[in-house]
Chains A and B, each alone.
Chain A
Amino acid sequence: GAVVSQHPSRVICKSGTSVKIECRSLDFQATTMFWYRQFPKQSLMLMATSNEGSKATYEQGVEKDKFLINHASLTLSTLTVTSAHPEDSSFYICSARNSQGGGELFFGEGSRLTVL
């Protein structure tokens, strides 16, 4: 099946610094990628929809200046958590839909962010 690679899988950073997470579709082109956040023992919360070549669409309550999304190519989207705080610690998961596929989303392995 289609593969989505997410990097890094784990990152620890100091409060006030910025962290970038990459999401790549390895064997298909994805005009749209999605970023989710998952809290412990909770479901996935859609943060934003990343659109290749245009601005991301953020869900209500998600700060666009806090969570910068860039979708520079058909196979790469990045999420940058700016000026991270401990409350930003979470599991971030990206997903992509194969433009030529059957509609299902393929997910990255997730990135565990810990802000000290």
Chain B
Amino acid sequence: AQSVAQPEDQVNVAEGNPLTVKCTYSVSGNPYLFWYVQYPNRGLQFLLKYITGDNLVKGSYGFEAEFNKSQTSFHLKKPSALVSDSALYFCAAGGATNKLIFGTGTLLAVQP
């Protein structure tokens, strides 16, 4: 069965420090991987995706993610966190089926 794991419910980081939000996946076929961000009582905003090509994917707001096939991971990163980055982040994966499966979400808290 397809699944996405986000092992951390919450990540705390000081403003200006680098941040990492972890994600691992299990899908059939070649994976399609996505990161989304959600602010309170809002829908999800697309950040970035990996379909094929370079393993390092750059997205919106300075975020990037690295696809690691051997570790089945797609961790989200940013070199320097901002307080405004504080939100709920979802990793999602699709494979041979048309559906996207979402992880449980990681709350990112950036302290000033």
Contacts and interface: CB of A to CB of B under 8 A. Distances in A.
Interface of A: 1, 4, 6, 32, 34, 42-44, 46, 49, 91, 93, 95, 102-110, 112
Nearest to B4: A43
Contacts of A91: 41
Interface of B: 32, 34, 36, 41-46, 49, 51, 90, 92, 94, 98-105
Contacts, number: 51
B45 A107 contact: yes
Nearest to B44: A107
B105 A103 contact: no
B49 A6 contact: no
A43 B103 contact: yes
Main DSSP-derived SS at the A contact region: strand
Given A32-B98, A46-B99, A49-B98, A104 B41 contact: no
Interface of B: prevailing SS: strand
B84 to A, nearest CB: 19
B46 A42 contact: no
Given A43-B90, A46-B99, A102-B51, A1 B46 contact: yes
A112 B41 contact: yes
A83 to B, nearest CB: 26
A93 B44 contact: yes
Task: Count chain A CB atoms within 10 A of each CB in B46, B94, B101 and give the residue with the most.
Answer: B46
A109 B49 contact: no
Nearest to A110: B43
Contacts of A95: 44
B32 A43 contact: no
A103 B49 contact: yes
A104 B49 contact: yes
Nearest to A32: B98
- Can you list the 4 inter-chain pairs with the closest CB atoms, starting with the nearest? A107-B43, A107-B44, A109-B43, A43-B104
A106 B51 contact: no
